[in-house]
Chain A
């Protein structure tokens, strides 16, 4: 249940950022954002449970994967896609750390 809670929190944090980056086609961007998170979230958890890779490295991988996903699926500038991937994941990861440490 904990893991699912974090997934919902991640969506709540990241999807508004995705909408901000794609104001003109926010509906499609929202769908793509949700789908990319649906893909990266289980990958992150599988690698976290089954391997010894550091969480920071995994988060970096998630940001790059999501950036590539936005570039490919939204057919936007790659700088914008990578910026979105890193911004959204940095904020959600940061809030995750705060939640874990202080709540």
Chain B
């Protein structure tokens, strides 16, 4: 006898357009992202403990150039090929390969870690943009574990290299789950020529905002060295901020959320300089906008989701790191932060953001563009 309470196939398809397990992809790619950044943080920290400063600095720069700067070419490539499967395969195999190569030759391992990082970030975020159903929550699941992995990996760099074996096994398990859980196909909306002019402006505005945000994060990271466990506290707060931000923004609306969190971040950075927990809460507020800006960037480049991802997670971070790299001296950066100019930058960013969002991203325009 037929069970009347059994949902029909049509109802199931309506409820889960990607299949019932399709929504696991952001979570799994988030795990992979965390493991990738853990491995990178571990390898770079381990290398720093066992080599001289100039060699270590050189390979940190090399990793940054490949891992962050390399995301844009990978993004172009994904959007050109319009396939996700080959890029997922590259991400899933180069990551454990980089860790294994690190045992044989540390420099080769770091270079391959940069390559794996570029592919994991771009492919993972593009997969999430394909299944996120216009929500920031899934993007938060993907973006948040990265900073946590990097922080913990960096802190564990002083321990034995054999820690990496556990990560290799974890990556293999997550990789098998990703591959067998309905990897989505690459899809973009149909092209609408009339929308393209305004999008350039929006894209540049969002890119500028992301650069500001990453720059502020870099500064606070430098400041956090002065506090006991400061880096770990900042890393955990950035992770929590992204996760909470992604889901709360879905509930109350991203605009309202940004208007609340950015002024809080400003106040905490201005008045909480002496307290690591105040700075950490400020960082959580600041980083909570990461999934939002990723979604906005993908909306402004609807035909090129992988390029949008690369601009959000790679180019903006690479550009933001440049001034800090050029200044070099940590004390100068800390002194600058204590002078209060950082707050002026955030204030400028908020007003710029407010102006851009109101001018170009009114709800009607977003609905049209999507």
Given known A39-B93, A39-B96, A73-B179, contact A28–B86 (CB-CB < 8 A): yes
User: In the complex, which residues 41-93 of chain A have their Cβ closer than 8 Å to any Cβ of chain B?
Assistant: 42-43, 45-46, 49, 72-73
Q: Is the CB of B89 within 8 A of A46?
A: no
Task: Provide the bound-state CA to CA distance between A38 and B115, in Å.
Answer: 13
Q: Which of B97, B103, B179 has the most CB of A within 10 A?
A: B97
B101 contacts chain A at the CB level, 8 A cutoff: yes
Q: Is the CB of A72 within 8 A of B179?
A: yes
Contact digits for B71-114, partner A, Cβ 8 Å, 1 yes 0 no? 00000000000000110011001101100110110000000000
Chain B interface residue number, banded: 10 to 19
Q: Is the CB of A42 within 8 A of B97?
A: yes
Chain B residue with Cβ nearest A73: B89
B252 contacts chain A at the CB level, 8 A cutoff: no
Chain B residue with Cβ nearest A38: B97
B176 contacts chain A at the CB level, 8 A cutoff: yes
Tell me what chain B mostly uses at the interface: helix, strand, loop, or mixed.
Answer: helix
Task: Provide the bound-state CA to CA distance between A43 and B93, in Å.
Answer: 13
How many interface contacts (CB-CB < 8 Å) are there between A and B?
A: 35
User: In the complex, which residues 3-46 of chain B have their Cβ closer than 8 Å to any Cβ of chain A?
Assistant: none
Tell me what chain A mostly uses at the interface: helix, strand, loop, or mixed.
Answer: helix
Could you say which of B85, B89, B90, B103 contacts A42, with CB atoms under 8 Å apart? B103
Q: Is the CB of B176 within 8 A of A72?
A: yes
Could you say which of A3, A35, A43, A45 contacts B89, with CB atoms under 8 Å apart? A35
Q: Is the CB of A35 within 8 A of B90?
A: yes
Question: Which residues of A have CB within 8 Å of B100?
Answer: 39, 42-43, 46
Question: Which residues of A have CB within 8 Å of B93?
Answer: 35-36, 38-39
Question: Which residues of A have CB within 8 Å of B86?
Answer: 28, 31
Chain B residue with Cβ nearest A27: B86
Min CB distance B243 to A, Å, is 31
Q: Is the CB of A31 within 8 A of B103?
A: no
Question: Which residues of A have CB within 8 Å of B89?
Answer: 31-32, 35, 73
Question: Which residues of A have CB within 8 Å of B104?
Answer: 3, 42, 45-46, 49
Min CB distance A39 to B, Å, is 5
Min CB distance A61 to B, Å, is 14
Known: A32-B89, A46-B100, A46-B104. 15 other contacts (CB 8 A): A28-B85, A28-B86, A31-B86, A35-B89, A35-B90, A35-B93, A38-B97, A39-B96, A39-B100, A42-B97, A42-B100, A42-B103, A43-B100, A45-B104, A72-B176
Which A residues fall within an 8 A CB radius of B? 3, 28, 31-32, 35-36, 38-39, 42-43, 45-46, 49, 72-73
* Sample (8) of A-B pairs whose CB atoms are under 8 Å apart: A3-B104, A28-B86, A31-B90, A35-B94, A42-B103, A42-B104, A72-B179, A73-B89
